[in-house]
Amino acid sequence: MALRDIFSRRFYEKHLTQEQADEIMRHKNRNTRHLKFLIFTQKKCKFCGSTENPTVDHIIPVSITGRKRKYDLSNKQLLCRDCNRKKGSKIVIHS
């Protein structure tokens, strides 16, 4: 197991139940892990409240920040597919 996977597991175990952390760690892809984490913690679209078709959205788009924040979990939010398409590559502050 790679060192970063150990830290990832610790992070997920700190914020989720053991079963949820195990579910996330089954996935090798970091983006899939982030999507699962956001589904477990946020549960619904940040804009409309939908639980259908969840996607990971970059709060500050990668086209603006470049690759440096692409994998930063603090720059991600859970949006449904429709809201993510409407937002596009804009920065939208929504409470």
pLDDT tens digits for range 68-84: 776 777 788 899 999 99
**Kindly report the CA angle at 56 between 50 and 59, in degrees rounded to 5?**
100
| pLDDT value of position 1 | 39
CA distance 91 to 11: 27
Strand partners, 57: 77
pTM of the model: 0.68
Largest separation between any pair of C-alpha atoms in the chain: 39
pLDDT in tens, 23-65: 888 887 777 877 788 888 888 999 999 999 998 888 888 888 7
